[in-house]
Structure 1
């Protein structure tokens, strides 16, 4: 078993988001057993940030940013997107906006 590259992870995530968005909107929540001890969905690339791997802790961030920029995304727009997500998380109306 090997880790997914940042490009593979982003591609998988891009395929998964529309599916999750549809299911969450139609069902109200993801349906999973109450005895689930681990997340059902796990992405491989973030595992690069586990301590003791010998990989610099911010390498995933650098690879992900580079992947978006190399694909034509504005670096500033990419960075500002995270600021916007953080700012939205600080408001009480975020859940009503997302849901």
Structure 2
């Protein structure tokens, strides 16, 4: 990557295992991913393959159980705290009892 800007997202051997009543469920395993500034990336796959889980790890909504991940060169937690990225949820997250203006102002 010489001469290029640092990766916006960089994951190495990333894994996430959920502990359930039926035993461990491996949601992510050995994920290696580099996304550069300005790149457009789509995650495509069948339901349950880990697409949303990976996005949730990037957004610091889930913690990986193995491997490393950086967002804008820092941990996902630090990036979230610094508001170093934006995240749009798939499902609408508007509160019906708030006005449009108050929903937009909430963050």
Common topology (TM > 0.5): no
**Normalized against structure 2, the TM-score is what?**
0.26
Is the strand fraction higher in 1 or 2? 2
- What's the TM-score, normalizing by structure 1? 0.28
